[in-house]
Amino acid sequence: MKRIDHIRGLGLLVLVCGLAIGSSPVHPRPAPQPAEGVFVRVVDTGPGLCAVVRMPGPLFMVYDAGDFTASGSSRCFEGISEVIPEDSPIELLVLSHSDADHLGAVDRILDRHRVKRILHGGMVRSTTTWRNADAAINRERDSEGALDINLKQVEFPPGATYRLGEVFATMLSGFHEPPAGWDIQNESERRNAGSIVIRLKYRNRAILFAGDAVGRHIDDPSDKLIATEKFVVEMSEVLPVQADVLIVPHHGADNGSSEAFIRAVNPTFVVFSAGHKHQHPRASAAQRYIANGIPVNRMFRTDLGDDEGSKEWSHGRVAGHSDPVGDDDVDILIRPDGSVEVKYRQTP
C-alpha cells in the first residue's frame, strides 16, 4: 500500500495543505450573498447526499455528489455551481462510499472544476454511475494532477487531517473494506459501513458529515452500537466526534443514528438528506434524536412534507405528497464569532 508522502507521524496525523487559492449547460439559481465564516449547503438532490462547503479564502470542498437520477445529479451540480465560481478549484472532494446516490455528479464536477484532492474508498462496483465516476477520477489524476487518495491503495488512517486555511477536515473513519469483526450482516451494510466520516472544524465549532455510516441493524434494540458508529464512539477520546451540526448517517435510516452515537456527537442541529424513496428519514431514527434532547425545530430534512407511509418521520407530512428534488436545500453557517445558524434555503 502506498503512503501519501506528506503524512507526518505526529500522533494524530496532520496533512497541511497549501493555501493557494465543459459540461452540459447549467442554470443555477442566484448564488447566496457571501458571508464570513464557513458556509455549507446540503443540496436537495432527492434520495442522495450532496454538500458543498465554502471556507474563508475562499476555499471550497464538496462532500458527496448527489443521486444518480438525472434530476438528482443535475440538482447537485447546480447547487455546487451556485456556491463555487466556475474558475475556482476545489481543494477537496470526498466521496463517502461507492453507492450511486452519492456519486451522481462526479463526472460533471471534475469536468467543470480543477479538483486538487479526491478522497474515496476505492471499492469497485458495476453500476454505470460508478464507472463514470471512476473514469472521471482517473482523468483528473492523470491529466490535471489531482491527488487520488484511494483507500484501497493509499494509507490514509483515521485521524488524518487536512488544514484548509482556517478550517480543519479530519477523517474519523473510512475504509476500503470495513474491518473484520464489525458485525456486518449483508452486502448493503458492507458497502455503507466503510463510509468516510469527516469532521470539519472552524473556530471551535464543528460539522460532522457521516455518509451512510452504519451504527445498528434495522429494528435493533435502542442500546445497540455496531460498525462505523461504534468505531468513532470508541475513538472519540482521541479523535473528537462532537459536532454542532450533524449530517445524519444514511439519510436517517434505522440502521444508523444509534443512541450512543447521538450522545457522543451531541449535536445542536441535525440534517437529514433524504428524498421520496426508502421511507427516509425513518420515524424510529428521528425519535432517537428527539429523545436525546434535539428540538424538532432544529431538525431539518431535504424532503420536507414527504409522505411515504407510517415508517417515515411524520413531521411536516403533507398527505399524498411526493416531495420533488430541489426545493428543500438546507444552509449551514458558522460565523467567525462562533455562532451557528441552520435554516432552509431562502429562494427569491
pLDDT in tens, 222-240: 889 999 999 999 999 999 9
3 state DSSP class of 93: strand
DSSP assigned state of 238: T
The residue assigned the cell 483507500 is: 151
Go through 220-230 and write b for each residue having 16 or more CB atoms within 10 A of its CB, e for each that does not: eeeebbbbbbb
- Largest separation between any pair of C-alpha atoms in the chain: 56
Within-domain flag for 26: no
Can you read off the three cell numbers belonging to residue 17?
Answer: 495543505
Do 140 and 133 form a contact (C-beta atoms < 8 A)? no
Please tell me the predicted confidence (pLDDT) of residue 260.
97
Q: ∠119-125-130 over CA atoms, to 5°?
A: 60
Please tell me the predicted confidence (pLDDT) of residue 348.
52
Please tell me the predicted confidence (pLDDT) of residue 326.
92
Within-domain flag for 241: yes
Residue pLDDT, tens place only, 118-172: 999 999 999 999 999 999 999 999 999 999 999 999 999 999 999 999 999 999 9
Residue type, 323: D
The dihedral through the CA atoms of 272, 276, 279, 283 has a sign that is: positive
Domain enclosing residue 288, as ranges: 10-18+35-343
Q: Has residue 58 got a pLDDT over 50?
A: yes
pTM comes to 0.91
Res. 36 pLDDT band, cuts 50 70 90: confident
Q: Has residue 15 got a pLDDT over 80?
A: no
Q: Has residue 35 got a pLDDT over 90?
A: no
Within-domain flag for 25: no
Q: Which residues contact 67 (CB under 8 A, 6 or more apart)?
A: 45, 46, 47, 48, 50, 73, 76, 100, 101, 104, 275, 325
* Cα gap 133→73, rounded to integer Å: 12
Res. 6 pLDDT band, cuts 50 70 90: very low
C-alpha 215, offset from chain centre? 16
Please tell me the predicted confidence (pLDDT) of residue 9.
29
Please tell me the predicted confidence (pLDDT) of residue 30.
56
The residue assigned the cell 464557513 is: 38
Go through 86-99 and write b for each residue having 16 or more CB atoms within 10 A of its CB, e for each that does not: eebebbbbbbbbbb
Do 279 and 252 form a contact (C-beta atoms < 8 A)? no
Within-domain flag for 330: yes
3 state DSSP class of 77: helix
Within-domain flag for 27: no
Please tell me the predicted confidence (pLDDT) of residue 31.
54
Which helix H or strand E contains 81, and what residues bound it? helix 70-83
Q: What is the 3-state secondary structure (H, E, C) of 53-70?
A: EEECCCEEEEEEECCCCH
Res. 28 pLDDT band, cuts 50 70 90: low
Residue type, 80: I
Mean pLDDT of 63-80: 96
Can you read off the three cell numbers belonging to residue 190?
Answer: 458492507
pLDDT > 90: what percent of the chain? 84
The number of folded domains in the chain is 1
Within-domain flag for 89: yes
Least confident of 88-92, 244-248, 314-318, 341-345: 314-318
User: Any idea what the CATH number is for the domain that residue 225 is in?
Assistant: 3.60.15.10
Mean pLDDT of 330-343: 97
* Cβ neighbour number for residue 80 with a 10 Å cutoff: 26
Residue 245: which of 201, 306, 192 has the closest Cα? 201
Can you read off the three cell numbers belonging to residue 252?
Answer: 436517517
Mean pLDDT of 6-32: 40
Within-domain flag for 324: yes
3 state DSSP class of 299: strand
Residue pLDDT, tens place only, 286-328: 999 999 999 999 999 999 999 999 999 999 899 999 999 999 9
Q: Has residue 13 got a pLDDT over 90?
A: no
Please tell me the predicted confidence (pLDDT) of residue 222.
83
**In whole numbers, what is the pLDDT of the chain averaged over residues?**
90
Within-domain flag for 201: yes
